[in-house]
Amino acid sequence: MNSNVRKNESKKISVIVPCFNVGRLIQPLFDSIKKQDYENFEVIFVNDGSIDDTLDVLKQFCSGEVSSAHRKYRLIEKENGGVSSARNAGLDAAEGDFIFFVDSDDSLMPQSLSKLAKLMNKGTDVAVGTFYNCDGEVCSFPHIADPDNFLRATFTKGGLTLWNKMFRRSIIEENHLRFDTSIKVCEDHLFTAQYFLCATGSIAVTDYMVYLYQLNPFSLSHISTTTGTFSPWLSDSVFAACRIYRLMMVKFSKPTLRELRYDTYHKYRRVRHEAHVLHCKDRVFYDSIYKEMRSIMPLWEMIIFAVRRRMSILTSSAIRKLHHLFSSLKK
């Protein structure tokens, strides 16, 4: 192994993997873990009450891979409590200096851990990498060192995703951070935002591809769109966004908060639209997310934002039509 990589391995990484009914999906992750060029890490698999062969698959992998003084494979079994509960169990058991979360149906690049650990060893509070999303698009992030500014710039632009970041366990424990088990969708966004707001150091961003995200059609965050059936958990994305906004109220100026409210309102409208497309007729659902939005935004501002959003849509449509017209004239 490269001697430069060895120098960065004094700190231990805890990789936390919540698992539920992924027996047929987890092999790519196993393969990518074995290819890591970083040695000093533990992998904590948390079987969250799976009812397929996930537990057997995990036992076979953990027993087949020889643990060493530097690389360990651990398995936690628990009753089903959801992904937040599983991640919390992993945090409770973690022994590493740094924390890295991986979803069981995704995979890593060979230098994912070493690239992020190298940044963390420079004293940063969180390291952020690039990732492929489920559409095969590259998601990269601005090189912003201040946690508050990073949070503000990427609030609704994928910056709060959990699995392309390495965290410092001491910050998590000192601030008693855990995942909210009452939220089933965007629970990772809330955790990441809470972490950023607790961080007093800097953020380091690398353009290295650290994560390969795969679409699991049976996860709560995607089951509505992939099956064409409405899921009431869609409302959690609005609840999480509003809670994050309330956390940020003590940090940011009024103009910044106004833009953050607009971003939150945009998410609210997207969720309403998705529910409408899926033929949701549940008034309780619509009323609950409307009430949540009203908790951070007066009615007059919602009306202004609705007009602003509509004008933006109309302007974009007009630009596309003009572009098409000019293209036709050129021909």
The span from the CA of 41 to the CA of 11, in Å, is: 8
The span from the CA of 132 to the CA of 171, in Å, is: 27
* pLDDT given for residue 64 in this prediction: 79
Q: pLDDT class for 220, splitting at 50, 70, 90?
A: very low
- The whole-chain average pLDDT of the chain stands at 87
pLDDT at 323 over 80: no
* pLDDT given for residue 242 in this prediction: 94
- Give the model confidence (pLDDT) of 230-279 as tens digits: 677 788 989 999 999 999 998 888 988 998 998 899 889 989 998 888 88
CB 171 within 8 A of CB 125: yes
How far is CA 307 from each of CA 259, 262, 266, 285, 304, rounded to the nearest angstrom? 15, 11, 12, 23, 5
Q: What is the CATH number of domain 3-212?
A: 3.90.550.10
* pLDDT given for residue 306 in this prediction: 86
* pLDDT given for residue 246 in this prediction: 94
* pLDDT given for residue 224 in this prediction: 46
CA dihedral (295, 301, 307, 313) in degrees, to 10, reads -50
Query: Who has greater pLDDT, 318 or 15?
Result: 15
* pLDDT given for residue 4 in this prediction: 44
The span from the CA of 269 to the CA of 276, in Å, is: 10
**Per the structure block, which two tokens stand in for 110?**
């060979």
Query: Who has greater pLDDT, 206 or 215?
Result: 206
Lowest-confidence segment of 62-66, 90-94, 205-209, 247-251 by average pLDDT: 62-66
- % of the chain residues with pLDDT over 90: 59
* pLDDT given for residue 309 in this prediction: 76
The span from the CA of 50 to the CA of 279, in Å, is: 31
The span from the CA of 327 to the CA of 331, in Å, is: 7
CB 169 within 8 A of CB 93: no
**Per the structure block, which two tokens stand in for 70?**
């530097």
3-state SS, one letter per residue, for the chain:
CCHHHHHCCCCCEEEEEEECCCCCCCHHHHHHHHCCCCCCEEEEEEEECCCCCHHHHHHHHHHHCCCCCCEEEEEEEECCCCHHHHHHHHHHHCCCCEEEECCCCCEECCCHHHHHHHHHCCCCCEEEEEEECCCCCEECCCCCCCHHHHHHHHCCCCCCCCCCEEEEHHHHHHCCCCCCCCCCCCHHHHHHHHHHHHCCCCEEEEEEEEEECCCCCCCCCCHHHHHCCCCHHHHHHHHHHHHHHHHHCCCCCHHHHHHHHHHHHHHHHHHHHHHHHCCCCCHHHHHHHHHHHHCCCCHHHHHHHHHHHHHHHHHHHHHHHHHHHHHHHHC
pLDDT at 319 over 70: no
Query: Who has greater pLDDT, 316 or 76?
Result: 76
- Give the model confidence (pLDDT) of 154-205 as tens digits: 886 778 989 899 999 999 999 999 999 999 888 999 999 999 999 999 999 9
CB 107 within 8 A of CB 22: no
* pLDDT given for residue 87 in this prediction: 98
Sign of CA dihedral 325, 326, 329, 330: negative
**Per the structure block, which two tokens stand in for 325?**
């017209």
The span from the CA of 179 to the CA of 183, in Å, is: 9
Q: Mean pLDDT, to the nearest integer, of 298-323?
A: 78
CB 206 within 8 A of CB 128: yes
- Give the model confidence (pLDDT) of 287-309 as tens digits: 999 999 999 999 999 998 888 87
pLDDT at 2 over 50: no
CB 162 within 8 A of CB 196: no
Q: Mean pLDDT, to the nearest integer, of 35-50?
A: 95
Please identify which residue in the block is written with the tokens 């995942």.
179
Q: pLDDT class for 327, splitting at 50, 70, 90?
A: low
- DSSP-derived pairing of the beta strands 138-139 and 165-168: unpaired
Partner residues linked to 54 by β-bridges: none
pLDDT at 222 over 50: no
Per domain, the residue ranges of the chain are: 3-212, 223-330
* pLDDT given for residue 217 in this prediction: 54
Q: At what angle do helices 283-294 and 235-248 cross, to 10 degrees?
A: 10
